[in-house]
Amino acid sequence: MHQPDRAALEALIGDDVRALSAQSDQIGHDFAARHALTPNDFRALLHVTVAETAGEPLAAGELRTRMGMSGAAITYLVERMIASGHLLREPDPADRRKVKLRVAEHGLEVARDYFTPLAGHLRAALAEVPDADLRAAHRVFGAVVAAMGGFRADLAVSAD
């Protein structure tokens, strides 16, 4: 059996990342529609969730930068998301003068209700995959995320 060369394997991973992004985009649109959120509301929730999960909660200014919005637009979005119970502000434990955004309990509940079945599908799809393969996949995903972050940083520099 012919083994694909390195460039072909990397191209397959690129294809997989695009397919994963497209599936994720469709799921995000469905979640937003079911919960009366705009696409930007969902993007904001996603950014806040990812940052919080990484142990690095975002300030509104950081969210504004990640979303490419004006200060007024991000303030309006954050205020609406707080009023709807999806986000909350908490003092930064390292500097009480600063405020960080967190996903509120309501936001966690609706996300848990919506995404728990996806977790079941994922668990079933991965049931026969050996742990060593899952560890390798985790390393690959980490490398892909780092590469995308590097690319995003390059784009920000070239825009200046």
pLDDT at 156: 84
- Among 44-53, 77-86, 91-100, 137-146, the minimum mean pLDDT is found in 91-100
Supply angle C-alpha 62, 99, 116, rounded to 5.
75
For helices 105-126 and 6-34, give the axis angle rounded to 10 degrees. Answer: 140
Q: Where are the beta strands (DSSP E) in 2-154?
A: 87-92, 95-103
Distance CA 52, CA 56 (A): 5
Q: pLDDT by residue (tens digit) across 44-64?
A: 999 999 999 999 999 999 999
CA dist 50 → 15, 44, 72, 94, 133 (Å): 23, 10, 23, 20, 24
Taking residues 63-68, what's their average pLDDT? 93
Distance CA 137, CA 22 (A): 19
Q: pLDDT by residue (tens digit) across 9-30?
A: 999 999 999 999 999 999 999 9
Average pLDDT over the chain reads 93
Q: Where are the beta strands (DSSP E) in the chain?
A: 87-92, 95-103
Q: Is the pLDDT at 86 greater than 90, yes or no?
A: yes
Q: Is the pLDDT at 95 greater than 90, yes or no?
A: no
Q: Is the pLDDT at 1 greater than 70, yes or no?
A: no
Q: Are strands 87-92 and 95-103 parallel, antiparallel or unpaired?
A: antiparallel
